[in-house]
Amino acid sequence: MWLIVMVPLIVIVALWVVVPLFAPISLFYHDGRPTRAGRVANRAARWYAAAGGPPSWQVSLETRGRRTGRTSKTVLVIARHDGEDYLVSMLGERSAWVHNVRAAGEAVIRHGRKRRVRLEEVPSAERAPMLKAYVQRATSGRRHFTLTPDASVAEFAAVADQFPVFRIVESN
């Protein structure tokens, strides 16, 4: 019985991890929007992250749509800097989750369990170290940055206004 569940899961995860590393970014994103292949990969990644699959810093973020009120889900990587956790929009200001979080101020993070959180936007002047931490951790997100993980914090400061960053604060 476990083979029926585990084999397809292993195949999906392997394809989801390996294909994005070697496939051109245009296969998954065009003009900052996901293609059909990108939507399929994102859906699989959301399910996997919400279920609690490794790595622990990959999560599914659920926000309330600012126009529709419906729950919107996306998969994100948590960047850790100075003991605090942050969410970074690799696609910049155009990401729907960024607009939804700004409108609602709160969200749900899923990684095996459900956590209600408040997301506080970090001012542009303070984002550089968080962006560097994000690029060092999020291998698939690196393609959207013009900088490499070994770039200086000053270089990240030059592009910090292009990538929104939100501090994760636990809600009670």
Q: Report phi then psi at 164, rounded to 5.
A: -65, 140
Please give the pLDDT value at position 171.
83
Cα–Cα nearest to 93, from 165, 171, 147: 165
Please give the pLDDT value at position 32.
66
Q: How far apart are CA 171 and CA 116, in angstroms?
A: 6
Please give the pLDDT value at position 140.
73
Give residues with Cβ within 8 angstroms of 108, minimum separation 6.
61, 62, 63, 114, 115, 116, 117
The residues of the chain scoring below 70 in pLDDT are 1-26, 32, 172
Domains of the chain as residue ranges with CATH = 52-170 (2.30.110.10)
Please give the pLDDT value at position 2.
59
Give residues with Cβ within 8 angstroms of 135, minimum separation 6.
141, 142, 145, 147, 148, 149, 151, 156
Q: How far apart are CA 112 and CA 90, in angstroms?
A: 23
* DSSP one-letter code for 66: T
pTM: 0.79
- Mapping DSSP to helix (H, G, I), strand (E, B) and coil, where does residue 166 land? strand
Convert the pLDDT of each residue in 107-153 to its tens digit.
Answer: 999 998 999 999 999 999 999 999 999 999 988 777 777 888 899 99
